[in-house]
Amino acid sequence: MSKLLVANWKMNPQTAAEAVRLARAEDAKGVVVCPPFVYISSIKREVSRAKVGAQDVFWEPRGAYTGEVSPAMLKKLGVEYVIIGHSERRAQGETDTMVNKKVAAALRAHLRVILCVGESKRESGSRNYELRKAQNYVKVQLKRDLNGIHNSKFKIHNSLIIAYEPVWAISTARSAKSQDNADTPENALLMIKFIKGVTRQVSDVRCRVLYGGSVTSQNAASFLHYRDVGGALVGGASLRADDFKKIIKTTKTL
């Protein structure tokens, strides 16, 4: 199985010209570029090999929802993928109930969903990383986020992707090292295999699971060489064209 790289630009870059330059540099097969909403149309015109994704979506098709974007609007822009439930949005108050509604709405619109799940330092053990504690937290998250989302209803074998992002490891490499080697490829692999099992149990689907714990060109190979790791959700490194190109090159050698 080829690896999938999702470039989550977050609220970057600051101009459309910069966004176009970055998209051109990242235009490769197996890449999903997820820019801010305002750049989607421009980037869709510029890329020919990469797919275009969105960083969020709302669950209602239309109405008085200031600032929101519907699944149908994204489809009309040529968007194929959408990130849902990113830890940064959850930290701002997005609940599992909201995530569940977004997942259902996106799948109904035939968008490919990249559902983010993962534990914080507190949820994985306040001092020492506890795999079982982290797994229990992620299991509850998945059950809530995928409540009512079953393959028999949504036909989601190729439309649901899970991104495992240990919250404590996102852009915090120094603090991650202090957590008894919790941020290791071996631990990530154990969690990803666990997530696959839970997803099969809850939704009857075998899905791709990405790793999203601050992937860089320096550590990408160590995480991605495992067959069970289906790719990576890349944040900061996706804003550095040279760094992201190295990650793309790494996936070609695996």
Q: Where are the domains of the chain?
A: 4-252
Q: In this predicted structure, what is the pLDDT of residue 178?
A: 47
Q: Under 8 Å CB-to-CB from 8, ≥6 apart: which residues?
A: 34, 55, 83, 86, 233, 234, 235, 238
Range 4-252: architecture per CATH: Alpha-Beta Barrel (3.20)
Q: What is the pLDDT of residues 18-76, one digit of tens each?
A: 999 999 999 999 999 999 999 999 999 999 999 999 999 999 999 999 999 999 999 99
Q: Under 8 Å CB-to-CB from 140, ≥6 apart: which residues?
A: none
| SS3 of residue 102 by DSSP | helix
Q: In this predicted structure, what is the pLDDT of residue 182?
A: 43
Name the helix (H) or strand (E) containing 136. helix 131-145
Q: How confident is the model at residue 16 (pLDDT cuts 50, 70, 90)?
A: very high
Share of the chain above pLDDT 70, in %: 93
> Does pLDDT of 174 surpass 60?
no
Please indicate whether residue 156 or residue 178 has the higher confidence score (pLDDT).
156
Annotated active-site residue in 110, 150, 165, 225? 165
At which residue do the structure tokens 């996706």 appear?
238
Q: In this predicted structure, what is the pLDDT of residue 177?
A: 46
> Does pLDDT of 181 surpass 70?
no
User: Has 86 been annotated as catalytic?
Assistant: yes
Q: How confident is the model at residue 123 (pLDDT cuts 50, 70, 90)?
A: confident
> Does pLDDT of 193 surpass 70?
yes
pTM over 0.85: yes
Beta carbons of 164 and 188 less than 8 angstroms apart: yes
Q: How confident is the model at residue 245 (pLDDT cuts 50, 70, 90)?
A: very high
Task: Please confirm whether the linkage preceding 185 is cis (ω < 30° from 0).
Answer: no
Q: What is the pLDDT of residues 200-217, one digit of tens each?
A: 999 999 999 999 988 999
Q: What is the mean pLDDT of the chain?
A: 92
For 204, other C-beta atoms within 10 Å of its C-beta total 13
Q: In this predicted structure, what is the pLDDT of residue 127?
A: 59
| SS3 of residue 133 by DSSP | helix
Q: How large is the average pLDDT for residues 162-182?
A: 65
Annotated active-site residue in 86, 94, 123, 186? 86
User: Has 165 been annotated as catalytic?
Assistant: yes
DSSP string, 161-210: EEEE--GGGTT-HHHHHTTTT-SSHHHHHHHHHHHHHHHHHHHS---EEE
Please indicate whether residue 87 or residue 171 has the higher confidence score (pLDDT).
87
